[in-house]
Chains A and B, each alone.
Chain A
Amino acid sequence: MAIELFRIDDRLIHGQVVVGWGQPLDLAFIVLVDDEVANSEWEQELYRMGVPPEMDVYFHTVEEAAEKLAEYQRDERRGALLTGEIETMTRLIDLTRSIARVNLGGIHHRTGRTQRLRYVFLAPDEEQALRAMAARGVDVSAQDVPAARPLALNEVLSGEGNR
């Protein structure tokens, strides 16, 4: 069981995650890793409101998540781990070295970013970070919903995914 999905999505908890992935993967918990949210009761309440009562949500800073990741991986239930930024997932990988696969689920337009897919826009330093992640053996692919074909990082960066 354990964590079935490590996802970078700037919307964090939203419909695609809770329903789109939550139903087919039978997710019982979400680990939301974000330093700002982990330090804001109000933000946590907001995200809690978005999940059904039977689904647990755990909020952690990157450092806390790194300490608890092994515990979540031993959980008998299925879970997903979310970060809103590439940099956050990179830090988590650096600290744990136990994340084998990363899903790019939604990295939207922002100044300095270039469109790679309908739902993936990357700044040069973010592209570099993803390349470095892949070079370390992490399987990085883009897939917004389970029914879509996963696109390997090289397809995303070459723009082939838009064809």
Chain B
Amino acid sequence: MSEPGADVRALVAGHGDFATGMVSAVGQITGLGDAFVTLSNRDMSAADVERAMREQVDARRLDVIFTDLPAGSCTMAARRLQRERPQVVLVTGTNLATLLDFVFHTDLPPAEAAQHAADKGRAALIVTGGPPGGH
């Protein structure tokens, strides 16, 4: 019997309800939202974000962190964690397609799965319609 949360593979962190919203969407689409734990930086100092992230990563022995924005304090905290834990992989600019790809690649090592997911997320950004030239 697996212990609760044993299948958690990554942390999703970001502003406001970004992480819980994204993970909720993953759960609705795939039923695999349990692959993630979440963290919001709402009303937290940089030091608090780093402390909370460190606790989550240590508690689950996670090697993959997804964040929302390159400039965000969650990304900064993850970068600080990487300094002492080079095995940790950070993907920033995360979108839903990124997380969906990640949950289905349990066969890949974490770093490879994260890279694959990032490529998928990048490819999912598509603009359609509008006048020619976008004006």
Contacts and interface: CB of A to CB of B under 8 A. Distances in A.
A10 B69 CA distance: 18
A70 to B, nearest CB: 28
The A interface, classified by DSSP as helix, strand, loop or mixed, is: loop
A86 to B, nearest CB: 14
Contact of B43 (A13, A14, A119): A119
Contact of B79 (A10, A11, A46): A46
A50 B75 contact: yes
Interface residues of A, number: 21
B70 A10 contact: no
A50 B46 CA distance: 14
| Size band of the interface chain B makes with A | 10 to 19
Interface in A82-123: 106, 108-110, 118-119
Interface in B39-82: 43-48, 68-73, 75-76, 79-80
A110 B45 contact: yes
A156 interface: no
B45 A50 contact: no
A49 B46 contact: no
A38 interface: no
A50 B48 contact: no
A33 interface: no
B4 to A, nearest CB: 30
